[in-house]
Structure formats: C-alpha cells, structure tokens
C-alpha cells in the first residue's frame, strides 16, 4: 500500500522506469542485446556438452557465461514486472480515492 507522498513518488518512478525498460526491451537495441545473450547461452551450452568434465576451470567459465546470459534477460524482465506492479498499486490507490 502507498502511504505517503514520498511513497507515491517512488511508485511513479518505478512505474516509469519499468515502462522505459519495456520500451528498450522491444527496441532494436534491446532485441539485439537479448539475441546476443541467447547466442552466448546457446554456444556456452554447446561447448559445455563437449568439454572434459575434469576441466574445472572451463566448466566454471561456461557456467558463468550461461548464468550471465540468463541474468541479462531476467534483469530486464524484473524491471518491467516491478514497473507493472508499481503501476497497479498507483491505480489501486487512485480507485480507492486515497
């Protein structure tokens, strides 16, 4: 629940940021970055299946590349979700007359 004017400002900033990330997500640059992250993940997974599992350094490197690629998409999606949740709280407050 939004209790103060400061909380309202924070919710608005979260909603605006989420919308900006969503716009970026759907832009040519955003699609490029997500595409590159997916390519990195796919290539790392392919290499992972071919390496010697005793090569701990290489296993760790590939795991990190896969995790990094997953993180990029998750960070963007989390920002959009947070913005939508903030927007829902703002709308809920305005409907309740607060």
Q: Does residue 27 form part of some domain?
A: yes
Confidence label for 6 from pLDDT (cuts 50, 70 and 90): confident
Q: Does residue 32 form part of some domain?
A: yes
Please give the Cα distance from 87 to 8 (Å, whole number): 10
Q: Does residue 51 form part of some domain?
A: yes
Q: Does residue 46 form part of some domain?
A: yes
Full-model pTM: 0.76
The radius of gyration computed from the CA coordinates of the chain, to the nearest angstrom, equals 19
Three-state SS for 98?
coil
Hunting for tokens 């390519």 — which residue is that?
39
Q: Tell me the CB-side half-sphere exposure of residue 97, using CA atoms within 13 A.
A: 0
Residue closest to 12 by CA, chosen among 98, 86, 92: 86
Rounded mean pLDDT, 7-21: 93
Q: Does residue 98 form part of some domain?
A: no
pLDDT higher than threshold 60 for residue 81: yes
State the total domains in the chain: 1
Domain coverage including residue 61: 5-93
């Amino acid at each position: 629940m939004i209790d103060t004017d400061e909380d309202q400002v924070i919710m608005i900033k979260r909603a605006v940021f989420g919308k900006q990330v969503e716009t970026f997500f759907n832009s040519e640059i955003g699609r490029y970055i997500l595409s590159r992250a997916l390519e990195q993940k796919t290539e790392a997974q392919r290499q992972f299946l071919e390496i010697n599992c005793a090569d701990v350094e290489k296993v760790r490197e590939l795991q990190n590349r896969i995790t990094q690629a997953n993180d990029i998409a998750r960070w963007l999606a989390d920002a959009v979700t947070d913005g939508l949740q903030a927007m829902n709280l703002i709308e809920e407050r305005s409907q309740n007359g607060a």
